[in-house]
Structure 1
Amino acid sequence: MRTVVAMALAALLLTSCVAQELEPIPGSITYSGQPRTKLTKSPVGSTLNHYFYGPFGERIQETYVIQPDRSLKLVARERQDIFSALYD
């Protein structure tokens, strides 16, 4: 009985760690809600990248996927320090 409870608890904790969605930050396309214009010519499921600079000077790249209702879903975010590009 204890093993079953421990396994269920471990599965619950693992699911809660994996299933978190990214929240928009200032500079994100969807920070103040979905854009007013719809991407009517882009196929559903296609991705687009958005680059901007964050509040601490880091360069941020966000990846969005176009949903069937033509809204954008934020699926990935990558941060890069602006000074690291100088030393590559």
Structure 2
Amino acid sequence: MRCLLPTILSLVMLSSCTTDSSSEVQPIPGSITYGGQPRTKLTKSPPGSAIYNSFYDSTGSRVKETYILQPDRSLKLVRRVIVPDFPSRGGS
């Protein structure tokens, strides 16, 4: 039984992994790549560089995105974080 439990846990964890390309972060309005790649190319930054973008979405939430510059100078959106809006702690 002791040997079986780690095997079962490993199978459960592996079954939740996916290699499907649909798990990629998709651009939303405000993203640099929303509507396609930008017209200007980043020529001074080396491929593999991280580019950061932040904006407010349609609900007023702050969004922070990370892009990686590809060898063909296109941008790949790799991460998006929505920053929670904390209520102000205004005193008296």
Fold equivalence (TM over 0.5): yes
- Give the distance between the partners of 1:22 and 1:32, measured in 2 at CA: 14
Indicate which of 29, 54, 68 corresponds to 2:71: 68
Moved over 3 A (4+): none
Distance 1:49 1:86 in 2: 26
User: Which stretches in structure 2 are left out of the alignment for 5+ residues?
Assistant: 1-10
More helix by share: 1
Pair 1:85–1:78, CA change in 2 (3 A): farther
The root-mean-square deviation of aligned C-alpha atoms, in Å, is 2.5
Unmatched 5+ stretches in structure 1: 1-6
Amino acid at match of 1:16: T
DSSP-derived class of the 2:16 partner: helix
With 15-24 and 49-58 compared, the bigger mean Cα shift is at: 15-24
Question: Aligned partners of 2:39 and 2:51: how far apart in 1?
Answer: 17
Instruction: Give me the whole-angstrom Cα distance separating, in 2, the residues matched to 1:32 and 1:70.
Output: 17
Aligned to 1:45: 48
Structure 1 counterpart of 2:26: 23
**Structure with bigger gyration radius:** 2
Q: Percent identity?
A: 51
Aligned residues: 78
Return the TM-score normalized by structure 1. 0.75
State the SS of the aligned residue for 1:40.
Answer: coil
